[in-house]
Structure 1
Amino acid sequence: MKKKGWLTLLASLMLVFTAACGGSGGTKTSDGGTTPAPGGGGEAAPKEDKVVVWTYPVHGKYEDELKEHVADLKEKYPHITVETEVLSWAEGPKKFDVALNAGNPPDLYFHAVDGAYVDTGLALELTPYITDEIKNDYLPGTLELGQIQGKQYGLPLYQSLWAWGGNKKILEEAGIDWKSIQENGWTWTEFKAAADKLTTKLPNGKTRYALVTDGTSLDFIEMLTRSNGMPDVLNDKGEFQWNDERILDTMTFISDLMKAGHMPAETAAIQPAKRMDWFYAEEAAIVSKAIPYYDVMLQNRAKDIDSGTVQGEKIDFVLLPVPHNDGAERKTSMFGEGYVAFKQKKDKGEEHAKNTFLIMEGLSGAKAGNSANELVLPFVRKSQAEYFEGKGLGTEPTIKAAEIFANFKDIPVTLSLDAKNSGNQKKFKEQVVKPNIQALFSGEKTPEEIAQDFKDKGKQILGQ
């Protein structure tokens, strides 16, 4: 054989040997898979991409936790750069709405799914990317919390639970049987009777109020209307609810608390963080809204008091159900919060959509269950429950109370509404409900005037 033939044969054998030995330059990832190396032959190396994530300080340690998740994802998907921004609860929603309306939302946004997002045409439907393995990992009824009319747009991270929170010492000194209330609930009449006992003058001349809430959000009114037979402004059939005697009764209940001095006169100006200052100072017996995480938060505060880094009295937390109208059923506000995926007006293509889902799944998996664990909320995935088994942070009474409250949960109406109704409901809340609630707290409008305004504006905005 000629020399040229030998060289050709030798080169062929070297190629075969290289392929057999896996010499493509691929690297092992942390989960045992292999990531192709650039220029390694075979399949083309994945194209470099960037996924933008906007989120919130979900719990006290979430920013550090997020950095760990991003590092894990970079190891698993080296071709994807994850750019994160942690928004403030106060300003974040406005920033997101501006970006969404401009057609340039982040790829992933931490929020509950919303039909108004779908109405923009920019929400990314996830059905093509969700495998059976992922579906089967979700606990019954939890994956649906990321759906709008049966289509998947989000992956829930936990099941949120809204309630009220009380100071155990103050409640017991006033003779309030909080254990019975956790078990059996309480009516508006029963709450008013308790409020009479809880509202008092303190030795320093200040008033201790029965209840303090913030006056800038809609959480308070939504919890009370839900506890008066109205699941939301609309019901799951899209029918207007806040246009009859039930909304007038709800407004009157709030107005009566204000007139009786059970809530601060300056409620309309109280920011969410400020209401907790009242609670810490023991100038509020009960705070709305409260989530089970407040139990952990107050445990950590007690440690800081012991160490001398924080001044104040230690507070033992009691999770309380929202009182319901005397003729209505007890209800708990629960919904799924997690990541929702979006496209941009200038679509970045299918590969980017797939990469977005890879990051979304990574931020919602087993280790991400720490958010539910920290917040003392129900897990949504089997892998999360297994990963954090025996590591629960809440006290036994709070965990038990949350389990009881969950038996009375209302499925969010927004999951059943079409995009038009969902968008109109959001518009009604922003343009009509917010200013009217402020006017109610400040005494500028009567419950009757507000109820009439709801009827009138409901015809204009909702067509009902």
Structure 2
Amino acid sequence: MARKFRVLASVLALSVSLSALAACSSKGGDASSSPSGTASPSAGASEAKDTITALLPPVSANYQNNFEQMAKDFNALYPNLTLKIEPASWEDMTQKLDTQVNAGSPPDIAFIGSDGISKYVQQGMLMDITDVATPDMINDFDKAPLEYMKKGDGLYGFPAYMEIHALGGNKQFLEEAGIDWKNVQKNGWTYEEFREAIKKGVVKEGDKTKRYGFVFANAGVTSKDYLNILIKNAGMPSAFTQDLKYAYTSKNYLEVLKAVRQLIDDGSMPKELSSVDAGKRWNMFLTGQTMITGKGLATFENSANKNNEKLKANDGSAVEGSIPVEYIVLPVPSFLGQPPVSSPAVDGYVTFRGKKEPTPEHKANVVKAAYFLASGKVAATTNNELFVAHITKSGREAAKSMTVNRNPDNVAAVEVLLSHAAPARPDIPVELGAKAIKLEDEVIIPKFQALLANEITPEDMYAAVKNAAIKEFGQDGVVQD
């Protein structure tokens, strides 16, 4: 989605632009591998040469700088195979991929969000690797993120990471407000507890608010992130229930909308919240204008640390007006006695096919390459740079020899959040998912913007969403509680 690292990493994207690479297929070996990510290339491998193409954005700050080494390491593992990587910026990634897909010659592998899988499945351009991925490969991955790479009965690649959309706090401000953040990291908090906590974080100078308790980016479509992470903690982990009824007609949805207005009306959040974009939100956090920020991502700890180093060195490139900040990972509050459910984003290496059916040998070679990128040293290096948790056994093993300057309390907090991440829903039919996205784009986002701007009431928005949902899914296709 705005995938989390795009804004931070896009400035580092390579300016090199290679021509689009058509998938090249020839006879190759089988897909035998091992969870170490260092499979023996002689294990049933053929000597037939083959090329695997990959379209990859700047997943982390130094990710694209490592392309040459990644290609060399893959070739050393499989001497008959060549991994040819085409770099893309986050800004042009989708356009490049769609251009190649529409031409019928997509890359063998593309790094995209798992939420984009259904789009390319509909177009018939993804390659189901269920029958080729070996048990060693499958068993290397944590189960939850791997499920996000599925649609129906098909597996369409391997996940790179599971990132949790959490909140982030300024340790000094949290402690000044008397908030036991370590307890919150371990045990979570209710909406009522959160509401009172952020009130304590507000600092005023006369009638002017010098520091808010909580700021979340809500400009344009970013508002859907805010609403989506809240409603997951109010008994609606997905847009559809297990029996495929549209969930956002539940009375709990209205209660969350009321809470959104309360936090602004309390003065804990800016009245101009609908105009705060992601950049401004982060700037407000680094300059001490808010105690808690959201959407908080693991990589933000790294960004805060780097800005702290610049301040300490009196480096002029530090954010103007910024202060030293110790970043603390915090969970989203839960509502109405419902269990906490973390909002995950899973991106990864999705496997594509062209108009022609790939040969079994080429298909096996593509799987080898996708697994190589998603596991072992490559995964460990990238995920450490992003400060995200490792989701493969081989990645965790490779990471043991790598140094990362990360707050151990935050590491533990993310593990807690991962333990109750919203499960993948490959069972939701593509058609239903498309209708839900349409309703979100045409009704939910504009109405939510109006709610934030105090132009409509929570009740108005709830009625609009419910009426639109009934029209789209029918009376029997929505939750009526």
| TM-score range relative to shorter protein | 0.7 to 0.9
Which one of the candidate residues 106, 111, 114 is aligned to 1:112?
114
What's 1:211 paired with?
Answer: 214
Distance 1:127 1:72, change over 3 A: same
- Cα distance between partner residues in 2 of 1:98 and 1:439: 36
**Which of 376, 385, 406 is matched with 1:374 structurally?**
385
Match of 2:126 among 123, 127, 141: 123
Offset at residue 447 of structure 1 (A) = 1.4
Question: How far 1:389 moved relative to its partner?
Answer: 1.6
User: Could you tell which deviates more after superposition, 67-76 or 415-424?
Assistant: 67-76
1:290 matches 2:307: no
The residue identity in structure 1 corresponding to 2:413 is A
**Aligned position for 1:61:** 62
Q: Is the 8 A contact 1:139 1:381 kept in 2?
A: yes
* 2:149 pairs with 1:149: no
Alignment-mate amino acid for residue 60 of structure 1: A
Residue of structure 1 in register with 2:73 after alignment: 72
Deviation at 1:384, TM superposition (A): 1.0
The Cα of 1:462 is off from its aligned counterpart by 3.5
User: Does the Cα contact within 8 Å between 1:331 and 1:410 map onto a contact in 2?
Assistant: yes
| Preserved contact between residue 201 and residue 208 of structure 1 (Cα < 8 Å) | yes
| Counterparts of 1:145 and 1:342, CA distance in 2 | 16
Question: What's the CA shift for 1:386?
Answer: 0.8
Residue 458 of structure 1 and its aligned partner are, at CA, apart by 1.3
2:238 to 228, 232, 236: 232
Matches within 5 A, 1:7-406: 33=41, 45-46=48-49, 49=51, 51-55=53-57, 57-73=58-74, 76=78, 80=82, 82-88=84-90, 92=93, 106-107=107-108, 108-113=110-115, 114-201=117-204, 207-215=210-218, 216-217=221-222, 218-309=224-315, 310=318, 312-344=322-354, 346-347=355-356, 349-350=358-359, 353-367=363-377, 368-389=379-400, 391=402, 392-406=404-418
Cα drift, residue 416 of structure 1: 2.8
Q: Verify the 8 A CA contact 1:145 1:335 in the aligned structure 2.
A: no
Q: Please give the alpha-carbon distance, in whole angstroms, between the structure 2 residues aligned to 1:104 and 1:268.
A: 41
* 3-state SS in 1 of match to 2:197: helix
C-alpha separation in 2, matches of 1:269 and 1:406: 31
TM (norm. structure 2) is 0.79
Q: Which runs of 5+ in 1 are unaligned?
A: 1-29, 35-42
Counterpart CA distance in 2 for 1:261 and 1:212 is 11
> Do 2:217 and 2:273's aligned partners in 1 also have CA atoms closer than 8 Å?
yes
Could you give the per-residue CA deviations for residues 394-428 of structure 1, whole angstroms, max 9, x where no partner exists? 21111121122233222133x33122222222333
CA gap of 1:93–1:102, structure 2 versus 1, over 3 A, is same
Q: Cα offset for 1:132?
A: 2.5
Shift of the 328–79 alpha-carbon distance from structure 1 to 2, 3 Å rule, reads closer
Whichever residue aligns with residue 62 of structure 2, its letter is K
Residue 130 of structure 1, CA deviation? 0.7
Is the Cα contact below 8 Å between 2:254 and 2:462 reproduced in 1? yes
AA of the residue aligned to 1:389? K
SS in 2 for 1:122: coil
Instruction: Name the CA distance, whole Å, in 2 between partners of 1:93 and 1:432.
Output: 25
Partner of 2:29: none
- AA aligned opposite 1:332: S
Query: What is the DSSP-based 3-state SS (H/G/I as helix, E as strand, rest coil) of the residue aligned with 2:448?
Result: helix
1: CA distance, partners of 2:443 / 2:103: 24
Corresponding residue SS for 2:138 = helix
**For residues 208 and 101 of structure 1, do their structure 2 counterparts lie closer, same or farther at Cα, with a shift above 3 Å needed?**
farther
Does residue 409 of structure 2 align to residue 409 of structure 1?
A: no
Which SS does the other structure have where 1:363 is aligned? helix
Q: 1:313 to 1:443 in 2, by over 3 A?
A: same
SS of the residue 2:368 aligns to: helix
What residue is the counterpart of 1:39 in the other structure?
Answer: none
Specify the code of the residue in structure 2 equivalent to 1:319: V
Q: SS where residue 129 of structure 1 aligns? A: coil
Distance in 2 (CA, whole Å) between partners of 1:430 and 1:457 is 12
Once the two structures are TM-superposed, the CA of residue 388 in structure 1 deviates from its matched residue by 0.8
- The CA deviation string for residues 106-136 of structure 1, in whole angstroms up to 9 with x for no partner, is 5413212543432332221111321222123
1:452 aligns with 2:455: no
Residue deviations 1:88-116, cap 9 Å, x none? 3x675577567767866554132125434
Deviation at residue 72 of structure 1 after TM alignment: 2.8
- Per the normalisation by structure 1, the TM-score is 0.81
Q: Could you list the per-position Cα deviations for residues 299-337 of structure 1 after superposition, in whole angstroms to 9, with x for gaps in the alignment?
A: 222222222222531101111110011322222223532
Per-residue deviation, residues 357-401 of structure 1 (Å, max 9, x unmatched): 333222112012223323333322211111112634421111121
Residues 409 and 32 of structure 1: CA distance in aligned 2, closer, same or farther (over 3 Å)? closer
1:202 deviates by 5.3
Partner residue, 2:4: none
Contact 1:335 1:411 in 2 (8 A): no
Whichever residue aligns with residue 262 of structure 2, its letter is D
Partner of 2:234, secondary structure, is coil
Matched residue of 1:209: which SS? Answer: strand
SS at match of 1:444: coil
Residue identity over aligned pairs, in percent, reads 25
Root mean square deviation, CA, Å: 3.0
Larger radius of gyration: 1
Q: Which amino acid is 1:263 matched to? A: M
Deviation at 1:33, TM superposition (A): 4.3
For 1:246 and 1:157, how far apart are their aligned partners in 2? 33
Local SS of the residue matching 1:191: helix
Residue identity opposite 1:461 in structure 2:
E
Alpha-carbon deviation of 1:276? Answer: 0.6
Once the two structures are superposed, what CA deviation does each residue of 1:161-210 show, in whole Å capped at 9, x if it has no partner?
Answer: 22100001111111122122112211111111112211222599653111
Q: Which whole-Å deviations, capped at 9, do the CAs of 1:52-89 have from their partners, x for residues lacking one?
A: 4143x33333222344323433554676452323333x
